[in-house]
A and B are shown apart, each in its own frame.
Chain A
Amino acid sequence: MARPLDEEAARAAVKAAFGAVTADDVRVNIDASETGFLRYAVNEVTTSGQVTDVVTAVSCAVGNKHASVTIHGLRVEDVAAAARRALEQARIAPDDPEWVASPGAATMKPVTAGWSETAVSASDRAALVADSIGEAKKQGLTTYGFIQSQRTSQVSATRAGFFGMHHGTSVSLTTTARTPDGAGSGWASAAGIALAELDALGATRIACDKALRTRGAKALEPGVYPVVLEPAAVAAMLNFIGLDMRAADEGHSAFTKPGGGTRLGEKLFGSLTLKSDPWAPLEPSAPFDHEGMPRPPVTWVENGVLKKLRTSRYWAKKTKRSADARYDRMLPTGPTAESMESLIGGLDRGLLVTRLFYLRMLEPQSITVTGLTRDGVFLVEKGKIVGPVNNFRFNQSVLQMCADADGYGAPVRVSSGEGEGGPPDVALALRCKAFHMASKSDAV
């Protein structure tokens, strides 16, 4: 299947930009995408469409003055014009003491695991949704959801000699099922690289099962509970971790040590390990960032110990450290990979949480986050699910959640459920000894 952008066209655009200007430093970024989506609600299709886009950004620098210009398109004359305009802007831009020249040539092993040759058509999406709606109707439920398929090509190129190109495909579905009386609600997601990996019907059945099982939720008082968080809930919490060396050095990060310095080397994350690896089969991604920095595999947190904070090129130069690429994926793993049954079986009395909603930073010092549970909270007693309970608002430190973890699932792909579609996240289920449910929510 054709890529959204072939290398010949990409190199022609890059050449046009480089040839149009005499700037000290020129960088070209191209993001081409073909996106198809279908949204449904109340067992009906609501919005559906396709978008073809290519975004070409040209950045020029003269000394330490710089500017960037982007066009939607790839015609060489437009790219050249964008480069000339970027140069004009750069010449009148103020000095930026943080400017660092672009990286040069680098050798990277390509990442091929993120591409599927199978196209996904509007009819494919409609057929999957028809199945999903049919399943919900069969069970007397109403369903709501979103399916999106995407093909992307990314290019980073610098006049200093870097050229990287990466292609990826993704397909994802999130679905909610609700009982007609509004007393029950369930949610599930499915995500993959290829259409064949997307078990839309399986996700729908999980959502339907949860909708039926959440009816008649018992009132439970807020308090501190042991919990098992499903992977989507864990993914939402881990979003709040910002592993930035500069913020830690400057004193406005959870990873700043009182009195100065950073908390590198401290065991802050329980037994969790956090890595980024573009070649990881679960979440393949571009092996370079938009600045032209290669992305080697990196371990940020190992068995709970903070091993590394990401250092930008400017901060590396200022503090005489080595610079890191900007990574856009993270792979969390635990020391074990228990099944959900095993994780639940380890709860004497606690809660099973499906997913979380409307999370906001409450207090960045401790990475304390507020939010709500949604689409399935179940009371567990002596390792068995007893039944559904009401939703809660929680106020919980993400670091404390990690420190309190005593059970870990296997990493799996999850769709964020936050409306963006696109490549799946990877997360794992966690069992935590203490999770702070601050108040009841009447929402179902």
Chain B
Amino acid sequence: MLTRRDFIAGTAGVVGAVVIARPGWAQTAAPPTTDLKTLIAVGLDAARAAGASWADVRFERIRQQMLRSEDDHIVQSGDSESWGVGIRAIVDGAWGFSATWHTDADAIAQAARDAVAIGRANAKIVGRKVVLAPTSKAIGKWSSPFEIDPFTVPLGERVDALLTGARAALAVTGAKLKVRGSLHFTSQEKTIGNSEGAYFEQRNLRGQPMLDISAIDLKSGQFESGNTDSLVPAAQVGFESLRGRRFEEAGVRAAEETIKRLGAQPVEAGTYDLVIAPSNLWLTIHESIGHPTELDRMLGYEANFAGTSFAKLSDLGKLKYGSPLVNVVADRTQKHALATVGWDDDGQPGDKWDLIKKGLFVGVQTTREQASWIHQKHGHAGDYAESWSAVPFQRMPNVSLQPGTKKLTPDELIADTKRGIYVEGRGSWSIDHQRYNFQFGGQQFRMIENGKLTRPLRYVAYQSNSVDFWRSLDALCDARDYFVGGALNDGKGEPVQSNPVSHGCVTSRFRGVRVINVRA
């Protein structure tokens, strides 16, 4: 999330729910000199002795790699490593939290006492006391799937991977191009012990190569911007994702499409049937289904910042959220998806459940703490902190639209559409603070006329209301078209935290959606 403090430096303007990764410094630090199990015991003992009724100690080792390119050369490179510890304590029904980069036993004991002292200060003004729903004792190790650990790949190979994509994009002719690239991997390793006896370790390895491309017509002073985000989405992957020609081909396609848009006709505002590719629809799912079904938002807990939800608890089992074709699941177990975990930070195992079934709103996102708020016995694996210095709280699982059960390809769906617009790729996105009114752009827009894709369009955005939009869905492609897009930095909370999350979907058709010309 950029603020005006970044503004003199260049382009700004990313504020709200999904935020884009900023290049960071490489980081490194020495690991703790005592084994983590012993240090965790020190923290838990200190918290108990100070009066905590429950506590956890969370060590995190966060390694990052970042390469940045400007046109055909690298302008930033670095590996990273950061160690720290965050300690939570419940005291008289109130949370306290303390975090420090010091990882010696004395510092950890002090941080535990600080967390208890903060909890005690809060207990004087706490309303509802914290109750954690029971769960199985989390013991074990988990890792996200990968074949090649990027932290073992030589710098030269990583540089080649990024520049191969950038150079392929730059070689596309038809306009002056500006290409900025990045190749980013994060390894987040958590070791957590709590006063219930849980002790678990997990590693989440995620990354993405990205090209941001501007096609420039100096004569007219016009330019268009595009990117490869939805062509090579962020995921829980290793360096194997850079093998082959996928990124290179994505660079070429993104450059070609951006150039094409520079010469495209402005869209005529009006009502259109939209055939939306999954490369665009994943983010619409995120904003119009993912966030409205978070229990903390539904109950108002994000009212001061990220916003609340039009969905109410009383709507469960009653609200027709979408057409009967709409089935949406929350899933912390989906392979390669960004929000998949072995356990959440509370030790709740990753799970999968329905949010929308045959168009009906049937489920919400919760944590162990939130389960008691709605009188449920068990919570879902929703508690997550972005780093050792952050407080875990309810974050979105992978939320995905299920494919249609009837055989249907995107070509067949377009052939079945008389007049409409085919929308691909991630563009501008925005939704109101109760998730009613949204407006989404894209990367590529093409007119559909009598079942055929015709001319490219420019300045397109579609605007709707979440429920109206999902009720207007009348066709879904089948599982062969299933695609998973993802965001590395979904912003929520104060202080704001980033959550990696993915969304799967298929090409879908929506009838009678309002389309605007953003320049008109």
Contacts and interface: CB of A to CB of B under 8 A. Distances in A.
Chains A and B are bound partners: yes
A364 B300 CA distance: 34
Interface string B1-29: 11111111111111111000000011111
A102 interface: no
A438 B82 contact: no
A337 B124 CA distance: 43
Interface stretch (B43-51, B203-211, B457-465): B457-465
A224 to B, nearest CB: 12
Contact of A41 (B29, B118, B304, B461): B304
Interface in B427-466: 428-437, 439, 441, 459, 461, 463, 465
A49 B391 contact: yes
B189 to A, nearest CB: 15
A8 interface: no
With most chain B CB atoms within 10 A of its CB, the pick from A42, A94, A185, A244 is A94
Contact of A45 (B12, B94, B437, B493): B94
Interface residues of B, number: 110
Interface in B471-520: 491, 493-496, 514, 516, 518-519
Contacts of A89: 26, 77-79, 155
B428 A370 contact: yes
Contacts of B389: 51, 53
A252 B73 CA distance: 19
Interface string B50-74: 0000000000000000000010011
Contacts of A365: 221-223
A370 B5 contact: no
B200 interface: no
A162 B25 CA distance: 20
Given A47-B97, A187-B304, A357-B433, A239 B4 contact: yes
B84 interface: yes
Given A360-B430, A425-B4, A443-B433, A252 B304 contact: no
A440 B468 CA distance: 14
Contacts of B13: 239-240, 359-361, 369
B26 A372 contact: no
A416 B16 CA distance: 12
Contacts of A258: 219-222
Interface in A122-156: 122-123, 126, 129-130, 133, 142, 144-146, 148
B12 A239 contact: yes
A442 B9 contact: no
B496 A259 contact: no
Interface string B206-232: 000000001011111111010000000
A330 B310 CA distance: 37
A72 B516 CA distance: 48
Interface in B382-424: 389, 391, 393
A439 B463 contact: yes
B125 interface: yes
Interface stretch (B98-106, B132-140, B165-173, B315-323): B98-106
B117 interface: yes
Contacts of A410: none
A395 B516 contact: yes
Contacts of A50: 97-99, 114, 118
Category for how many chain A residues contact B? 35 or more
Contact of A419 (B28, B102, B434, B494): B494
Contact of A361 (B79, B80, B428): B428
B290 interface: no
Contacts of A47: 95, 97, 391, 393, 493
B433 A45 contact: no
B301 A46 contact: yes
A145 B27 CA distance: 32
B225 A364 contact: yes
A440 B431 CA distance: 12
A49 B118 contact: yes
A215 interface: no
Contact of B121 (A123, A391, A425): A123
Contact of B15 (A93, A239, A368): A239
B307 interface: yes
A363 B458 CA distance: 11
A26 interface: no
A359 B430 contact: yes
B434 A442 contact: yes
Contact of B303 (A144, A366, A438): A144
Contacts of B199: none
Contact of B5 (A44, A95, A96, A328): A328
A214 interface: no
A89 B79 CA distance: 9
B9 to A, nearest CB: 5
Contact of B430 (A235, A256, A371): A371
B244 interface: no
B126 interface: yes
Interface stretch (A11-19, A170-178, A194-202, A401-409): A170-178
Interface in B291-337: 299-307, 310
A413 interface: no
B176 interface: yes
Contacts of A364: 11, 223, 225
Given A53-B389, A70-B26, A252-B214, A48 B430 contact: no
A243 B516 contact: no
B16 A122 contact: no
A389 B296 CA distance: 27
Interface in A168-209: 174-176, 178, 185, 187
B495 A42 contact: no
Nearest to B155: A92
Contact of B439 (A48, A94, A243, A370): A370
B494 A37 contact: yes
Interface in A280-330: 300, 310, 326-330
A116 interface: no
Contacts of B28: 69-71, 81-82, 85
Given A45-B125, A45-B126, A251-B218, A391 B432 contact: yes
Given A260-B218, A425-B3, A250 B178 contact: yes
A322 to B, nearest CB: 15
A98 B75 contact: yes
Nearest to A72: B101
Contacts of B79: 69, 89
Nearest to A78: B30
Given A360-B429, A362-B518, A126 B121 contact: yes
A89, A240, A257: residue with the most chain B Cβ atoms closer than 10 Å: A240
Nearest to B154: A92
Given A41-B300, A329-B4, 6 more contacts: A44-B126, A72-B84, A89-B77, A92-B156, A240-B13, A395-B518
**Top 9 A-B pairs ranked by shortest CB distance?**
A258-B221, A49-B97, A419-B496, A443-B434, A44-B127, A146-B494, A358-B16, A72-B101, A242-B11
Interface of A: 29, 35, 37-39, 41-55, 57, 66-73, 78, 81-82, 85-86, 89, 92-98, 122-123, 126, 129-130, 133, 142, 144-146, 148, 174-176, 178, 185, 187, 235-236, 238-244, 247, 250-253, 256-260, 276, 300, 310, 326-330, 357-366, 368-372, 374, 391, 393, 395, 416-421, 423, 425, 438-444
22 contacts: A45-B94, A47-B95, A49-B96, A51-B99, A53-B84, A70-B80, A71-B28, A71-B29, A81-B30, A82-B28, A89-B79, A93-B77, A98-B70, A133-B125, A145-B304, A242-B7, A256-B218, A300-B8, A359-B13, A365-B221, A419-B1, A421-B494
